[in-house]
Amino acid sequence: MGNSVEGKVIIVTGAGRGIGREIALLAAAEGGKVVVNDLGGSADGTGADAGPAQQVVDEIRAAGGVAVANTDSVADEEGAQRIVQTALTHFGRLDAVVNNAGILRDRIFHKMETSDFDAVVAVHLRGAFLMSRAAAEIFKNQRSGAYVQFTSASGLIGNFGQANYGAAKLGIAGMSKCIALDMERFGVRSNAICPFAWSRLTGGLPDNTPEEKQRVERFKTMTPDKIAPLTVYLCSDMAEDVTGQIFGVRKNEIVLFSQPRPVRSVHRAAGWSVQDIADHAIPALRSNFYDLERSGDVFCWDPI
């Protein structure tokens, strides 16, 4: 491995399994000192287990790397502060925060409980905010630092049964851009990654129809380790001029996502009545409407 993040202290949340684990392993192999954070709960956020985080730390140390475990919840403000303090206590500084921790509580919208919405938003959006905020003063004062936020195609494009997850993940994309704008003057960067990878959070995809089975098999070829290189790059000094972007990783493809911008407008000097909108505005705009698509409809080719 290389030395792209040699000596840098990197927090990776949700690093006990899946994508986070692969990021932590690569960051350590590239010379970083890693805080491996994982509550150790189930995929729906219940329970806790110190084992997954410690196992990754043991694996890093066995390979000659440097790491320490933390099992606080990112959704708890004091917990987020303790995660950051873990980096300062053990390594004396902090250079990057990777906000990867997440849970799923998928429900079709008319059956979604408030508790399902609140729990998912708490871990993903609130957790990413709390972790980013806990590191902000450190980054500001040292005039350097990098955030890597994790968004999802469920938010950027849309998906069935994930109004909670999609809301949180699109919120993260918006928050990342605003952090990038606010912190640019201090030399601090924030970018978002939309990962396509088979993990325990995607392991529950339906496979009842031939089309769904094909989608699942396609997903299984996209392994979590493919997400790690771009993440570590964005933590490194090589990415010092890259901020405010939304990337995707899909097996060996790296995607740059568009960000919402006006695509067409209509004007009426006298203003619009309700009937005028029905008669003129919507017919003029309709050719630019977006279809009700999911990620699989947009990314319809086999991963490369």
CATH code of 178's domain: 3.40.50.720
Q: Which residues pair with 122 in a beta bridge?
A: none
d(CA 256, CA 271): 38
Task: Give per-residue pLDDT as tens, 218-268.
Answer: 767 899 999 999 999 999 999 999 999 999 999 999 999 999 999 999 999
In a domain, 276, yes or no: no
CB 227 within 8 A of CB 249: yes
How far, in Å, CA of 209 to CA of 192, rounded? Answer: 33
Q: Output 46 or 259, whichever has higher pLDDT.
A: 259
Convert the pLDDT of each residue in 50-60 to its tens digit.
999 999 999 99
Q: Which residues of 37-54 are buried (b: 16+ CB within 10 A; e: fewer)?
A: bbbbbebebeeeeeebbb
Q: Does the pLDDT value for residue 22 go beyond 80?
A: yes
Measure the CA angle with vertex 247, ends 246 and 248; round to 5°.
Answer: 130
Give tens-digit pLDDT for 77-88: 999 999 999 999
Residue 165 inside a domain? The answer is yes
Q: Is residue 2 part of a domain?
A: no
pLDDT at 63: 98
- The total of structural domains in the chain comes to 1
The answer to whether position 111 is within a domain reads yes
Q: Is residue 268 part of a domain?
A: no
Domain-embedded: residue 282: no
- Taking alpha carbons only, the member of 87, 65, 73 closest to residue 135 is 87
CA dist 23 to 33, 69, 104, 222, 275, Å? 12, 14, 20, 15, 54
213 in any annotated domain: yes
Q: Which residues contact 148 (CB under 8 A, 6 or more apart)?
A: 96, 97, 98, 99, 100, 190, 191, 192, 193, 231, 234, 235
> 234 or 199, which is more confident?
234
Token digits for 3?
A: 């030395």
Percent of the chain with pLDDT over 70: 95
Task: Tell me if residue 189 falls in helix, strand or coil.
Answer: strand
Q: Which residue range is the domain that position 144 belongs to?
A: 9-259
User: Which amino acids are annotated catalytic?
Assistant: 165
pTM value?
0.93
Question: What span, in angstroms and rounded, lies between the C-alpha atoms of 259 and 50?
Answer: 38
pLDDT band, residue 178 (cuts 50/70/90): very high
Q: Does some domain include residue 224?
A: yes
